[in-house]
């Protein structure tokens, strides 16, 4: 049972703070819970990892397009501002992970951080659950892969470098936009694109294999930025690249629509038209095998543009770190986390 923390730990207490844009409109509520289990098994054919770890529920970053928003409804909350500002912390996550990796049945398969919400969102500065979970993986020499938009991962460069050396670790930095104004409109409390590029630099300099994710591709909005994002990421030291098309499952659609039409009304029509063109007249495709990418001539043009610049820059499709000598799945269509 989650319990509300009336005065949650302040991750900014010892630092000078400037809001990345306007302060959030909704009040932040933090809930703590003790998890019974931590490793989540995946059986979707679209997702190239079997096991994932999520130390947090909900995400402060507030990305309008986040596919995970409907998961908050299982807690009795909403997929909109509740997802952004009612955050649940699994305070015993490292201890549970240590127990699960210690089982005889565990085969040392790669673990993905995070499959649902960003493991380096701001609360991580106070709780440190992601770092402690990575330390557990290091102790067990268990390979990991990480996807994040958060600059806080820089704190753990040393740990990730050691994991890379003894077990295998890869990091994927999500950069859907080159234009900081577009980024701020649709992912308001994430690090700016240039800051994420600097994060790639720091990870790459430490020897951590690092890639860029253009996730999601939003037709009529950021598809034209693909060459710029890939070029900047390659200069920063990225060695892999992946992309996925915008997904708008269930309650994500109205959240995204409201944000897009309020912040970028002159671009909204082009987005809806382009998305329908790539989704056979629909705004979403929920089918396994097709939901991560589009169809038709316009999607093929985007795919070819991406592939052309990846070849030019020497960026390859990413792959999960191998465990026990067994190759893992391709990450080319990794989640738009």
Lowest mean pLDDT across 36-45, 210-219, 238-247: 36-45
Which position has the higher pLDDT, 333 or 315?
315
Confirm if 83 and 262 have CB atoms less than 8 A apart. Answer: no
Mean pLDDT of the chain: 88
d(C-alpha 132, C-alpha 96), whole Å: 11
d(C-alpha 178, C-alpha 251), whole Å: 27
117-135: pLDDT as tens digits = 999 999 999 999 999 999 9
Cβ count near 311 (within 10 Å): 10
The residue among 55, 335, 321, 317 whose CA lies nearest residue 169 is 321
Lowest mean pLDDT across 15-29, 70-84, 232-246, 299-313: 15-29
Lowest mean pLDDT across 18-32, 132-146, 147-161, 198-212: 18-32
Give percent above pLDDT 70 in the chain: 86
Lowest mean pLDDT across 18-27, 33-42, 61-70, 248-257: 18-27
pTM score > 0.75 for this model?
yes
d(C-alpha 331, C-alpha 58), whole Å: 24
Determine the pLDDT at residue 42.
80
Confirm if 87 and 28 have CB atoms less than 8 A apart. Answer: yes
Determine the pLDDT at residue 26.
72
Determine the pLDDT at residue 7.
41
134-173: pLDDT as tens digits = 999 999 999 999 999 999 999 999 999 999 999 999 999 9
Domains and CATH numbers, the chain: 28-313 (3.20.20.70)
Confirm if 60 and 23 have CB atoms less than 8 A apart. Answer: no
At residue 10 the predicted structure's pLDDT band, cuts being 50, 70 and 90, is very low
Residue 192, CB half-sphere, CA atoms under 13 Å: how many? 8
Determine the pLDDT at residue 1.
53
The residue among 60, 57, 65, 26 whose CA lies nearest residue 252 is 65
Determine the pLDDT at residue 21.
52
């Amino acid at each position: 049972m989650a319990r509300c923390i009336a005065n949650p730990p302040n991750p900014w207490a010892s630092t000078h703070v400037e809001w990345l844009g306007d302060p959030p409109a909704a009040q932040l509520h933090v809930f703590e819970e003790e998890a019974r289990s931590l490793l989540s098994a995946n059986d979707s054919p679209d997702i190239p990892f079997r096991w994932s770890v999520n130390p947090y529920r909900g995400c402060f970053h507030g990305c309008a397009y986040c596919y995970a928003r409907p998961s908050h409804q299982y807690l009795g909350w909403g997929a909109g501002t509740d997802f952004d500002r009612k955050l649940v912390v699994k305070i015993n996550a490292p201890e549970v992970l240590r127990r699960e990796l210690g089982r005889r049945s565990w085969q040392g398969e790669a673990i993905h951080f995070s499959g649902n919400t960003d493991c380096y969102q701001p609360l991580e500065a106070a709780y440190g659950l992601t770092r402690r979970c990575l330390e557990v993986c290091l102790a067990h020499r268990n390979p990991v892969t990480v996807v994040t938009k958060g600059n806080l991962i820089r704190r753990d460069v040393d740990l990730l470098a050691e994991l890379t050396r003894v077990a295998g670790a890869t990091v994927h930095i999500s950069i859907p936009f080159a234009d900081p104004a577009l980024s701020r409109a649709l992912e308001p409390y994430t690090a700016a694109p240039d800051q994420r590029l600097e994060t790639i630099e720091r990870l790459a300099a430490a020897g951590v294999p690092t890639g860029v994710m253009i996730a999601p591709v939003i037709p009529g909005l950021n598809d034209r930025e693909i060459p710029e994002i890939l070029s900047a990421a390659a200069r920063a030291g990225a060695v892999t690249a992946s992309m996925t098309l915008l997904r708008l499952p269930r309650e994500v659609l109205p959240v995204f629509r409201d944000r897009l039409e309020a912040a970028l009304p002159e671009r909204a029509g082009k987005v809806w038209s382009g998305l329908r063109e790539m989704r056979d007249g629909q705004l979403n495709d929920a089918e396994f095998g097709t939901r991560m990418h589009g169809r038709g001539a316009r999607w093929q043009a985007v795919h070819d543009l991406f592939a052309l610049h990846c070849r030019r820059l020497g960026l390859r499709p990413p792959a999960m770190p191998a465990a026990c000598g067994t190759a893992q799945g391709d990450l080319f269509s990794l989640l738009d986390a």
